[in-house]
């Protein structure tokens, strides 16, 4: 083979190889995407993400209801207690008489409406007896009288756990004469605000 011819064959083979490689390279490269068309109603670009807005502060927790009345309310309770007359009892009895019920009923409903709002506020029902009979007997009788009054007030709606009892028997007389008129004044119950 002539050297010229060998040179031509070598150039032709080299060109074919280079040409083949170029075609592969071109075929392997994907075409560029078309440029987006700009229209008059193009969608707005998404807003950049920002930090989440702080949560709205929670409403302040409701203050718990007071369990003891304030000074003006205590003054009103004292007024009502002063208006509620002592309930009186017959000799050697602890059942409420009609006049005793009337005495308890007069202002006990308003008293109830106030007291139930303050569960830690207590009233004390004092039971009393006249001077006749033994100390032990009169203490028990005073307790039974206070219990009768508590039962009535509970029926009106005053919670029993806000009504404590104490019996003074014949130790704290309202009257110190020695006759029936005076003894009647001593057979009673009296309602007071419990000591704080």
Domain boundaries, the chain: 71-193
pLDDT tens per residue across all 196 residues of the chain: 555 665 566 666 565 566 555 444 445 555 555 555 555 555 555 555 655 555 555 555 567 777 888 889 889 888 888 888 889 999 999 999 998 888 888 778 888 999 999 999 999 999 999 999 999 999 999 999 999 999 999 999 999 999 999 999 999 999 999 999 999 999 999 999 885 5
Please work out, in degrees rounded to the nearest 5, the angle formed at the alpha carbon of residue 118 by the alpha carbons of 114 and 122: 90
Which of 46, 141, 134, 138 is CA-nearest to residue 94? 141
As a CATH number, domain 71-193 is 3.30.1330.60
pTM of the complete model: 0.65
Decide: helix, strand or coil at residue 26.
helix
């Amino acid at each position: 083979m002539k050297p010229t011819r060998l040179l031509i064959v070598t150039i032709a083979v080299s060109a074919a190889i280079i040409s083949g490689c170029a075609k592969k390279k071109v075929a392997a490269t994907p075409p560029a995407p078309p440029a987006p068309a700009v229209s008059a109603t193009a969608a707005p670009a998404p807003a950049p993400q920002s930090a989440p807005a702080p949560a709205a502060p929670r409403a302040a927790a409701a203050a718990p209801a007071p369990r003891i009345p304030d000074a003006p309310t205590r003054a009103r309770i004292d007024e009502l207690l002063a208006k509620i007359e002592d309930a009186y009892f017959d000799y050697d009895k602890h059942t409420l008489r009609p006049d005793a019920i009337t005495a308890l009923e007069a202002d006990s409903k308003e008293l109830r409406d106030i007291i139930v709002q303050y569960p830690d506020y207590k009233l004390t029902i004092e039971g009393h007896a006249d001077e006749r009979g033994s100390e032990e007997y009169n203490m028990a009788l005073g307790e039974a009288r206070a219990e009768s009054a508590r039962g009535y007030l509970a029926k009106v709606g005053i919670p029993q756990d806000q009504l404590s009892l104490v019996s003074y028997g014949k130790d704290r007389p309202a009257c110190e004469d020695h006759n029936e008129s005076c003894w009647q004044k001593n057979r009673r119950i009296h309602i007071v605000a419990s000591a704080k």
